[in-house]
Structure 1
Amino acid sequence: MRFRLTLKPQTTRQKLTLNYYYPFSSWVYARIQESDADYAAFLHQQGYQLENSAKNFKHFTFSKFDIPHKAKPIEKGEDFILLSDRPIFITVSFFIDKAAEDFIIGLFKNQRINIYNKKYQADFVIESVESLAIPLGDALPKRYRATSPMVIAEKRPDGNDDYLLPTDPRFSLYFAINLLDKYESVYGKGMQMDTASLEKLIGFKLIEADRMRSKLIAIKQDRDDETKIKGYENFVFELNAPAQVIEVGFYGGFGKFTSSAGMGFCEIL
């Protein structure tokens, strides 16, 4: 399910860090902890565990902030957004049952939120929470736009990630592997198949990359173990896969670092 949050800045001309992804994710975890300690412990410590694997998934992501009215345009070299006193918006997306809708609305409604790092802090009140009805329909091919950076990577022999461009021939395979892992973390492992069969089951096809751009995001920022990840946004792709598989990726995010940094948030075209 998806929910659109309306955030009212507490004062005008606050500075919002451009790297707000990880601070917002941390705030969401904190709210879950305050509202349901058991669910928070599940997400932090286990998540949806892939059978016979160390991989686990949280199955939520979020959009970039929609800021219609900035106090001024962002200038070259600035690492913050100067806000006006007008509302801003963000959409959070969870792969959850509709029965949990009231829990999620209660999680956010009328809450105060602080987004900060060592340099900047911006304070808001969440004025409204709107549940978004987004029917996915059947398993026919659909087109999506990556509106937040999508992170797809191949693990190198040294243990580090090789971040892949959507134009890279390896991208479709690792997109499919990641999505199948997420699906099986929810529904159980049972689709043993070779590479050709996997790419036939989950077919990724890049459609448009003219406006695509890369984005470097810091997670665990302001800490000794700060990590920088690289993703790509503003590209259009076609996805042909079973409906249940698509739902897991659409609501929980496609690719890596979805819950920790809001990566892989996509819109249906």
Structure 2
Amino acid sequence: MQFRLTLRPIHRKTLVPFNYAYRLSAFIYSVLADADARYADFLHEQGYQYSSTRRFKLFTFSDLLMPNARVDTQAGGLWVNSETIEWIVSFYVDQAAQHFIMGLFQDQTCVIASPRHRAEFSIERVEAIPLAITTNTLTLRTLSPVVIAQKDERGMDQYLHPSDEAFGTLLISNLLAKWNSVPVTAGTADLLDETLTYRYLPGRYEPKSRLLTIKENSRAETKVRGYYGFSFELTGPKEILELAVFAGVGRYNAEGFGAVGL
């Protein structure tokens, strides 16, 4: 399920730090923990297992959609210049969980705090975004940076541009791994026999890249680069197209990367 949240700044002057995605991820975990501690702990500590080294959380979220935000490099953030902002959150869950999840976020206070900043928002509206997949091809646009990386001869990640020949191959491989991490119900095992393809759609502007830090100021701090501001076409079984929208594409989805929309 995909949801649109409307957030209202609590204070007249609100500065959101540049590196806010990991704080939003922590907020989602805290909301889930208040409602179902076992489920939140499962996602945070374990997730859905594909192999001994690969696990997936199967949720993601967009960048904050802040119209007319003012960039302030000296202050290290973005000044909110609108009465409300929007945020899209996606979960790969059963349709029956829609109202339950909407209720979790309604009337919550979202705090984005760093050693230098503290931005507070009240969530005043939560609405489900309808998704009806009627064809085997979707045109998707990025809602947050997509991280696709290939190891070089030194074992270091080389982050790929969405037009790179290997980008689509790795995106599809990651998506199929997500699919295989979920217990497959009877009658759906043959889905992977169908063709799944990626096609980059060049736009008026070149995709942009963003370098962000995950788990900032901790021993597990990691810097990753993702590309955003582009569209692509994904063709395949409807069930896997749905997975792409709700769970995200590429790596680090639960940290705020790979969110896509129609």
- If the length of structure 2 is used for normalisation, what is the TM-score? 0.91
Match of 1:23 in 2: 23
Match of 1:264 in 2: 258
Cα displacement (A) at 1:44: 1.5
Indicate if the aligned counterparts of 1:13 and 1:85 stay in contact, CA closer than 8 A: no
Alignment of 1:65-144 (within 5 A): 65-70=64-69, 73-75=70-72, 79-84=76-81, 86-139=83-136, 141-144=137-140
Pair 1:7 & 2:4 matched: no
Match of 1:57 in 2: 56
Indicate if the aligned counterparts of 1:65 and 1:89 stay in contact, CA closer than 8 A: yes
CA spacing shift, 1:84–1:12, aligned 2, 3 Å: farther
Cα displacement (A) at 1:76: 5.4
Match of 1:202 in 2: 196
Name the SS of the counterpart of 1:201 in structure 2: coil
Indicate if the aligned counterparts of 1:19 and 1:217 stay in contact, CA closer than 8 A: yes
**How many equivalent pairs are there?**
258
Match of 1:43 in 2: 43
Residue number among 152, 162, 167 corresponding to 2:158 in the alignment: 162
Q: Aligned Cα RMSD in Å?
A: 2.2
After the TM superposition, which segments of 4 or more aligned residues of structure 1 sit over 3 Å from their partners? Answer: 75-78, 155-160, 187-191
Cα displacement (A) at 1:99: 0.8
Pair 1:182 & 2:182 matched: no
Partner Cα distance (1:147, 1:178) in 2: 18
Indicate if the aligned counterparts of 2:138 and 2:241 stay in contact, CA closer than 8 A: no
Cα displacement (A) at 1:78: 5.2
Indicate if the aligned counterparts of 2:15 and 2:118 stay in contact, CA closer than 8 A: yes
Residue 175 of structure 1 aligns with an amino acid whose one-letter code is L
Indicate if the aligned counterparts of 1:150 and 1:232 stay in contact, CA closer than 8 A: yes
Cα displacement (A) at 1:208: 1.0
Cα displacement (A) at 1:187: 4.1
Partner Cα distance (1:241, 1:57) in 2: 21
Indicate if the aligned counterparts of 1:183 and 1:248 stay in contact, CA closer than 8 A: yes
Cα displacement (A) at 1:69: 5.0
Pair 1:151 & 2:147 matched: yes
Indicate if the aligned counterparts of 2:71 and 2:78 stay in contact, CA closer than 8 A: yes
Pair 1:239 & 2:234 matched: yes
**Identity in percent:** 35
Name the SS of the counterpart of 1:170 in structure 2: helix
CA spacing shift, 1:53–1:190, aligned 2, 3 Å: farther
Indicate if the aligned counterparts of 2:58 and 2:246 stay in contact, CA closer than 8 A: yes
Indicate if the aligned counterparts of 2:15 and 2:119 stay in contact, CA closer than 8 A: yes
- If the length of structure 1 is used for normalisation, what is the TM-score? 0.88
Cα displacement (A) at 1:79: 2.4
Deviates more, 1:103-112 or 1:205-214: 205-214
Task: Give 5+ residue unaligned stretches, structure 2.
Answer: none
Task: Give 5+ residue unaligned stretches, structure 1.
Answer: none
Residue 65 of structure 1 aligns with an amino acid whose one-letter code is L
